[in-house]
Amino acid sequence: MVGRIMFHTNEYLHLVQDTLHYLKSLKAPILSTKEECDYFRKLFKTSKQKTPILIPAPKKEEVVQRAVPLPLPIKEPNVVEKVVEKVIEIGKIKEEKKRDPIIQENIPPLHFSFGKWKAICGKIAPDLLILSEIPTDAIAKNIAARWKTKNLSAPITILFIQEVAEHKTFLEQIAIALDVHFVPAKLVHAEPLEKEGKWETFLSNDLLKLLIICDYTLWQMPKLLKLYKETKVARFLGDKTLFLLPDLSLYLKDPLLKRSLWKALCQTYTQLLSQSSSTKI
């Protein structure tokens, strides 16, 4: 009887049975952790070191019946795969915590009371100024824009608001004539200055010497009218000399009046020059 000697140990048989049982319980027949791989390797090494026992070879039929599938080779998990799996696991845990209503209910809502905070600051630092509203920067913008307002004027400035086209053209002709014969002259729209109340800034320009305006235009600007002064000798807006014009339609009807107007303007500016030269001396 031809037989075959097989070397086995009880530990090896138990190892194979445990391995088969463990692999059947898994979805994929691959071990997933390094600790499990080390465990089975250790058992396998200790089983080989022990003394083998002789077991008679079974018959061919018995061999077929007792054939047991060998365990699959143990595959160590890749380090990158382990890191990816760990990151995915942590992400799932965080997502579950976000969706968990119990965890959300435990977070106390944040309430801020300005009144309580102001009272505490009042006790700690009574000299500290606390504003309940954010202050506007309108004052700062006005201060920053003063130079623009000052640059609107010229040594001789003619003011207008809502003059008709013919009257405005006549004022432009006066400004050109004064600019050619004397000093720079300019026509300035007075309505924005009246709305914003920037007359004091406008009149603070030292280059401004003479203001020309129609009498009915002046009465339409109450803020500017507050700065109006009159003496026996001259009229003033603030400290600037004022030349009042009558109704401009009179000059358009009678062109001879333009000559008398020009003489009056020349006389007024000549007096200003003499006064300024005398004050310098």
Domains assigned to the chain: 6-79 (no CATH), 146-280 (3.40.50)
**What pLDDT score does 188 carry?**
93
CA diameter of the chain:
156
What integer is the mean pLDDT of 256-275? 90
pTM score, whole prediction: 0.51
Task: Extract the tokens encoding 86.
Answer: 């760990």
Distances in Å between the alpha carbon of 134 and those of 129, 138, 165, 275?
13, 12, 46, 50
Amino acid letter, residue 216: Y
**What pLDDT score does 73 carry?**
52
Helix 10-25 vs helix 34-49: crossing angle, to nearest 10: 160
What integer is the mean pLDDT of 245-253? 92
Going by the DSSP 8-state scheme, the letter that residue 182 receives in this structure is S
- Torsion over CA of 79, 80, 86 and 87, rounded to 10 degrees? 160
CA 203/CA 223 separation, integer angstroms: 13
> What is the strand order of the sheet 156-160 is part of?
185-189, 156-160, 210-214, 240-245, 235-237, 228-230
* Nearest in space to 84 (alpha carbons), one of 76, 92, 74: 92
Task: Extract the tokens encoding 262.
Answer: 């020009």
Q: How far apart are the first and last CA of the chain?
A: 150
> Higher pLDDT residue, 116 or 177?
177
Q: Is residue 275 very low, low, confident or very high in pLDDT (cuts 50, 70, 90)?
A: confident
